[in-house]
C-alpha cells in the first residue's frame, strides 16, 4: 500500500507551500487509486488526480466541496454523508454501512463512527491492502470502538488540528461533545492499542503557522510513548510493505 498525502491543510484560513490544499490522501495498491476526501480546494483539480474511486469521511466543506460539480469516478460514503450531497450531480453513489467491510478493487475498508460533529457525522477508515492495515481519521474527537479500530494497525493517520489543547464544544439537544482531539491524546490512544507509528494530517494553525521545530517537538512526545511520529505535508509519500 502506498499513501500519498495530496493535501494536508485543515479547516483554517491560512496555507503554506507545505500545507497548501485541504486534507486528502491517495491510497494506492496494484494500480488502483482511492482518494479519501475531496474538499473545496480540490474543485477543478480532481481530474488531475484521476482516482478510481473517492471515499468520504464526513460532510464538512473541507472534505466534500470539491465534488460540488460532480465526480469523475464512483464515490463511496456512509449514508449520513449522502444526505448532505443529495442534490449534487454525482451519478455513481455507493453507500457504506458502518463497521461492515467493503472492497474497492482490492483495497479493503471499514468505516468506524467517530465523535466530531452532530450535523456532519464523521467516520474513520480501517484500510487494508497488500498485507498492511492503517487507520485513517483526519477529523476526530473520539473513536467510538477504539480497540477494534486500532488493534493490529501498522500506521495511525490522525487529526493535526491541535497539538496539546482539545478543540471541543457541546452541541445539539443531547449535548454531544464535538471537535478535535489534540495530537497528544491521539498518541495516548495509539499507545494503548500498541500502535508504533503515527502521521498527522489535517494540520491546524499550530502546525501550519507554528515554529520550525514543531515536528520535532511532536516527535519527542511520540518517543515518550515509543511511537514514531511525523507531520504530513502536501506531496509526502509513504510506502507500507
Ligand atoms: Zn476537516
Ligand atoms: Zn470536520
Scan for cell 484500510, then name that residue.
127
Q: How confident is the model at residue 7 (pLDDT cuts 50, 70, 90)?
A: very high
The answer to whether 101 touches 58, Cβ cutoff 8 Å, is no
- Find the 141 Cα to ligand 2 centroid distance in Å: 10
Q: Give tens-digit pLDDT for 123-180.
A: 999 999 999 999 999 999 999 999 999 999 999 999 999 999 999 999 888 889 999 9
The phi and psi torsions of 107 (rounded to 5 degrees) equal -105, 115
Domains and CATH numbers, the chain: 2-239 (3.60.15.10)
- Evaluate whether 223 touches 29 at the Cβ level (below 8 Å): no
- With a CB cutoff of 8 Å and minimum separation 6, the contacts of 87 are none
**58 CA → ligand 2 middle, Å:** 7
Q: How far is the CA of 60 from the centre of ligand 2 (A)?
A: 5
Which residue, 141, 139, 162, is CA-closest to 208?
Answer: 162
Share of the chain above pLDDT 70, in %: 100
pTM of the model: 0.97
Q: What is the pLDDT of residue 173?
A: 82
Cell of 140: 476526530
Among candidate residues 213, 201, 218, the one with its CA nearest the CA of residue 163: 218
Determine the distance separating the centroid of ligand 2 and the alpha carbon of 209, expressed in angstroms: 20
For cell 495511525, what's the residue? 156
Q: How far apart are CA 192 and CA 102, in angstroms?
A: 27
Q: How confident is the model at residue 241 (pLDDT cuts 50, 70, 90)?
A: confident
Query: Which H or E element spans position 223?
Result: helix 214-224
Residue 53 C-beta-side C-alpha neighbours within 13 Å: 23
| Confidence bin at 81 (pLDDT 50/70/90) | very high
- The confidence score (pLDDT) of residue 109 equals 98
pLDDT category, 212, cuts 50, 70, 90? confident
Distance 59 CA to ligand 1 centre (A): 9
Do the beta carbons of residue 240 and residue 13 sit within 8 Å?
no
The 10s digit of each residue's pLDDT in 103-130 is 999 999 999 999 999 999 999 999 999 9
Mean pLDDT along residues 199-216: 95
pLDDT digit string (tens) for 20-77? 999 999 999 999 999 999 999 999 999 999 999 999 999 999 999 999 999 999 999 9
Amino acid at each position: 500500500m502506498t499513501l500519498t498525502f495530496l493535501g494536508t491543510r485543515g479547516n483554517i484560513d491560512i496555507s503554506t507551500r507545505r500545507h497548501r490544499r485541504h486534507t486528502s490522501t491517495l491510497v494506492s495498491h496494484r494500480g488502483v487509486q482511492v482518494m479519501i476526501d475531496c474538499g473545496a480546494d480540490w474543485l477543478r483539480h480532481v481530474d488531475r488526480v484521476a482516482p478510481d474511486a473517492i471515499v468520504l469521511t464526513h460532510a464538512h466543506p473541507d472534505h466534500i466541496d470539491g465534488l460540488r460539480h460532480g465526480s469523475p469516478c464512483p464515490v463511496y460514503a456512509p449514508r449520513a454523508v449522502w444526505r448532505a450531497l443529495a442534490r449534487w450531480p454525482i451519478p455513481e453513489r455507493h453507500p457504506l454501512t458502518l463497521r461492515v467491510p467493503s472492497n474497492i478493487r482490492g483495497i479493503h475498508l471499514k468505516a468506524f463512527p467517530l465523535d466530531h460533529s452532530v450535523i456532519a457525522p464523521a467516520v474513520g477508515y480501517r484500510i487494508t491492502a497488500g498485507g498492511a492495515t492503517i487507520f485513517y481519521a483526519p477529523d476526530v474527537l473520539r473513536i467510538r470502538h477504539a480497540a477494534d479500530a486500532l488493534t493490529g494497525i501498522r500506521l495511525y493517520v490522525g487529526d493535526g488540528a491541535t497539538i496539546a489543547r482539545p478543540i471541543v464544544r457541546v452541541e445539539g439537544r443531547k449535548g454531544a461533545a464535538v471537535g478535535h482531539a489534540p495530537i497528544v491524546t491521539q498518541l495516548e490512544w495509539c499507545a494503548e492499542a500498541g500502535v508504533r507509528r503515527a502521521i498527522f494530517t489535517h494540520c491546524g494553525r499550530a502546525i501550519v503557522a507554528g515554529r520550525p521545530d514543531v515536528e520535532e517537538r511532536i516527535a519527542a512526545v511520540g518517543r515518550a510513548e515509543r511511537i514514531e511520529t511525523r507531520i504530513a505535508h502536501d506531496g509526502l509519500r509513504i510506502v507500507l510493505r
